[in-house]
A and B are shown apart, each in its own frame.
Chain A
């Protein structure tokens, strides 16, 4: 659950962007980093390989402002998408307050999305977290690509959104859907603080 400091009235939430390799997780954070005023964000930390693939995680701290009298901060993380980095994915996922699952809308990446989504469920379960209890938003990225290369959002919903969680179409490279995704997940995570208290 989010870390709540009643003395200084601060809330810190950990949000994790999950998904297969090259689906656009880092691109989401880069877009947010580029749009948010400097005094409201920290430096973006990227632990990446020489070819700019995420090795451990990307990290971007954001200061949202004051909500219900609490200074609210978000810590945005991405996980490395490649299958063989599962150990580090598990570490980054630890203590997540909410997850964005970024799916690559290209039809040829369908199986990769599926594998990553199943991997998310497995890794959460291993930490004792039921995915049905965790704030989750689906983002169907790369919807700007030609229609014959991608699956439409309703098709992706059919495949991945059996829980009926919020989903957004996105073109993270140009920013479409990035803000909406973050806004939706923020609302879900904070809503838990309004309806149920944080775990001690």
Chain B
């Protein structure tokens, strides 16, 4: 499991153990990965987050067009695995969860324990840290070297 901040790990671990989900991904509503379990490549998890955030964003817009309340979750049920996507509010803003589950569990269990996860995360979120400078002021040389290496020029 990889988590953006340590306080996310315990609630997510508990969710995974209780729900028996195979993959789980927590992200911001803009598709930035906050925590994940089960994905092996950082770049693949970013693609999954982008697609998940896109689905939820379009679901919210669809609800607006239809004049209904926003739908908080979406389920895609395949023959072998299902995907549960849901949004929830945290003190750090609206987050989204993408959960992939198999026949060893059920949508009902995933939904049940996801609700617990959402409330656990809302409780566990610490007070926001004061902002701080991230990069050294002379980062440009490293950036240029990295881009040269990336593009081979």
* Chains A and B are bound partners: yes
Say if the beta carbon of B75 comes within 8 Å of chain A. Answer: no
Please determine whether B143 and A187 come into contact, CB atoms closer than 8 angstroms.
Answer: yes
Chain B contacts of A11 at CB under 8 A?
134-135
Instruction: Report yes or no: B153 in contact with A186, Cβ–Cβ below 8 A.
Output: no
Number of A-B residue pairs having CB atoms within 8 Å of each other in the complex:
146
One of A38-46, A110-118, A135-143 contacting the partner: A38-46
Within 8 A of B (CB), among A25-42: 35-37, 40-42
Assess the A42–B41 pair: CB atoms within 8 A.
Answer: yes
Q: Are B134 and A14 in contact (CB under 8 A)?
A: no
How many B residues face the partner with a CB closer than 8 A?
48
Nearest-neighbour CB distance to chain B for A113, whole angstroms, equals: 26
- B24 close to chain A: CB less than 8 A: no
Could you tell me if B151 and A35 are in contact, using CB atoms closer than 8 angstroms? yes
| 27 pairs from A and B in contact (CB 8 Å cutoff) | A7-B4, A8-B4, A11-B134, A14-B30, A36-B150, A37-B150, A45-B47, A59-B50, A62-B43, A65-B146, A68-B134, A68-B135, A73-B46, A75-B50, A77-B50, A92-B54, A94-B29, A94-B30, A95-B28, A95-B29, A183-B144, A186-B143, A186-B147, A190-B143, A193-B135, A194-B135, A199-B131
Q: Smallest CB–CB gap between A187 and chain B, Å?
A: 6
A3–B43 touching, CB < 8 Å:
no
Report which of B6, B29, B42, B135 forms a contact with A63, defined as CB distance below 8 A.
B42
CB of B140, distance to nearest CB on chain A (Å): 6
Number of interface residues of A (CB under 8 A): 55
Task: Tell me whether B28 and A3 are in contact (CB under 8 A).
Answer: yes
Task: State which of B34, B47, B129, B135 has its C-beta within 8 Å of the C-beta of A61.
Answer: B47
Footprint of B on A, CB under 8 Å? 3-5, 7-8, 11-12, 14, 35-37, 40-43, 45, 47, 56-57, 59, 61-68, 70, 72-73, 75, 77, 87-88, 91-92, 94-96, 179, 182-183, 186-187, 190-191, 193-200
B58 located at the interface, meaning its Cβ lies under 8 Å from any Cβ of chain A in the complex = yes
Set A5, A65, A75, A196: member contacting B150, Cβ < 8 A: A65
Q: How far is the CB of A197 from chain B (nearest CB, A)?
A: 3
